[in-house]
Structure formats: C-alpha cells, structure tokens
Structure 1
C-alpha cells in the first residue's frame, strides 16, 4: 500500500485515479501545519512507500505567511522523511522550479545552485534540504506550471476570463514547461515503485512538460484549442506586479528522468485531454 499526503489537490486527485487502492490523507486526516501528525500517519499505516502531494501553494500569500509555509513545505516533509528512513521505505516528494533564482536562459540541472527569490521557494527548499539530511531513500521531483481539469490553475483561469474578455494581457518573458498533473501523478507512482525495487535511484529529478513556452504562448494555445477568439497581448513581468517575485527562467533539464524510463510529457496533447474533460471541446 502507498500512503499519499494530499487528496483534493491537482496531483493527489490524479493519483486517486491511477492508484485508487492507496491511502489518501486530506487536511482533516493529517494537518501538515502539525508535522508530528505526519509521523503518526506513517507509523499507523506502515505503507510500502510515501508520496507527498500536499503543500502550501499560495505563492503570493506566502510572502506574509512564510512561517506557516515553511512548516507545511519544510518541517512536515522533513518529518515524513525521517519516519520513512526509520521504516526503511521510500519517499517521493513533489517540489518546484521556484527553488532556483530564475535567471538566465539555460535549462536548470537538478544539481545546479539554488537561490529562491520568494518565500514559497524558500519554504520548498527547506523541505528538500530536510529530506536529503534525513538519509531516507527519496525522489525529489521538481516540476512547474501544473495544470489539470480540477483545482485552480492557469488553464481554468484563462477559460474563465475568456467568457467575458476578447483581449488579455499575459506575461511573455517568463518561460517554462507547463506540466499536466496526470503525468506528474504517473511519474510519482513510477518513482515510488522503482525506489522500492532499487533504492540506488534516490536523488533529485526534474519533470516538466515540453516544449518550453511563455505564459502568453501557453494562453494562445489554450484559446486555439478551445476555439475562443481571444487576442493575447504580450507584456513584461514588470507590467504585472505581484507580491511574490516570479522567476523568469523556469526551464528545467529533465534528462535524468531516463533513470526511471520516463520522459517529458507533451503538454499540448495533455491540454486537449483537459479541455475534453472540462467539456470545452468534444
């Protein structure tokens, strides 16, 4: 049995579809702001592996709630990892490209220097550090720009705005790989099973959709596939200020996925599936 922290988030929802016999813990069953509850949940369930698909993800709100974000994204995964090490079981943890500083134009490698530019990134980095320090067998999977047919995400936001707008200004100088939540779920499950069989695969991996695009071009593809006649105007990040600074470069080198016989998902094909699920296209 696999134990999954999270139940209603984008990735956890997709995990529920592919491994329905897993045990899923929502916020009521396990409050990550109380890390000791993570320990109790793992010791009680005695799973063969743990997947952490839960996180504090309110990037802008984290600027004023960094302590809480760091408990949920840092201390809780650390306690999960320590307990997994005690039971000698693997942990798959979903992290983010936000641990990098977002400069340059080259795709970041898993072992490249990290330097987050916002509170959310710092909180996720704390989780990564705690997992590595625990000594447990793990796969830290950094991903980016997650989308699906459920939860809050860029695809659903663009569709909602297109109901009342025929022109939108969208940031064009942030570049990254939109990543389908369903593919993240498949990858997380594959990593968990692989680590059970071969603990030497422990490490940090990048998993993002291909090809890399700007938010503006992502929006154009959403409207093209959805048949929405919306004009997208490119704007720089400076013209769309947010409480939390965003990285301009979210490109990630995903070659190490070969260690699990995985590859970058085609986000355009996945977008079609999401739009079909939302009954935007048939």
Structure 2
C-alpha cells in the first residue's frame, strides 16, 4: 500500500453488536460472500474484525474473537486478491490472523496492549495506529483536549517512537486519528477540517468516519441506515485533505465518488 492513490478499506464486522452492520455477517459463509462483493465493488483492502469497538460495547474473549475471524481470513486469503487487515488489539489474534493470511494490523489501541509491539515487530506487516481517548466504556464521557489536532499529534509521535524502539520500521506505520473515539462532534469536525496537518509525519493516513454518529448528528440525529451520502462526502473531504485510505461500509458509492473527484481534478481514468 502506497501514497499514490487513495485506497478503499471495506469494513467486515463479524460481530453481533457492531453499531451499523452488527449481526449481518455473523456467519463465516456470509462474511466470505460479503468480502467478495466488496472486492467486486472496488475495495482495495478488507478489514476483518471480531469485536465491536463502538461506545459501551461488551468485551469479547480472545477465543471468541479468534473463532470469529480466523476461519474467514483463511478462506479469503485464497479467494480474493486484495490485502486483508485484522482489526484487533489482541497480540495472539494478530499473530494467528497474519499466519492465516492477513497483511495489515489495524489496532484501535495503537499497539499499547502488553506484547502487541513485540508481536507486530516479529510479524513485519503494516500496522495502523489509531488514536483513542479513554477506553471503549469511557471514551465518550466528556472528552476534552487542549487542541485536538496537536494532542493527537503528540500521541502519534509517542507511538511512532515506541514502534521504532520495538523494531517496527517507520514505513510500516499508518496513522488514524480515530473519528468518534473519545471525541465530541466538534472535535470530529475539527479533525476533518484539519486532517492535512497529520501529513507532517510523512506516513500513510487512514480516515474512518463511515456511518458514524458524527454523520448522524450533523443530519439531525439520523440513524445509521440513512447516513450513506454524509459518509461518502466525509470520505471525499478526508481524501482531499490528505487521507490515503478511507475505511467505509459503502464501497461502490465511495468508489464512484473518488472517480468523480479524480476526473474533475484533471486526472485520466484508469
């Protein structure tokens, strides 16, 4: 994965309780079929997760997470031709997922769990470090910042240095400011407006705001099912402000919007 063209990461939640698609793919065969549709619609990466990270989500045991994601990753590794990402904070899940065919670790905890840095360094795959203020249970209880961008940048600087000390080369790192993870609506909008400031790290940047409550809040508290247009526009704004990867539920719609952005910027199709 490079800086050149923005990539679409398709969200595949193998959970009963994720905020938008919880339960839709809580079956190995359904999950595999969904991933194949995503690739057919233009997904460049499939992000497989076995534990919901929405606010107040119930924790999942390591064994349950493994039983959800590993069979899917094993199957997909021989059936699709795009990279597979494992969305987890658990070192053992990371290890087994990469052994099964994943080539990216996407960690909402930024490799802060005990043993996560060591495992990621040994696996030698790309790692996405996401910023989150607080835990899943506490992150939306009055989140505060001195300056949300500068505070996130300080966190990234600390985690990048921790990665390098552990033996993870800087070119393996992707940064995600974590829309909705310990942020108010105002914080989220500020991050979107100033997203280009994270380019100072000269690393790949990921934006994940698809169908999130920030979109619903802007649209008069609309439920997740009605947030598709707001999500696609958010993804386009993120790309215009420097995002290299957008993590989305609506693959085809995002692909179409990115193509329109490309041609209106004078680039050739193809």
Is TM > 0.5 for Structure 1 vs Structure 2? no
The TM-score with structure 1 as length reference comes to 0.36
Larger radius of gyration: 1
The TM-score with structure 2 as length reference comes to 0.37
| Relative contact order, higher structure (CA 8 A, sep 6+) | 1
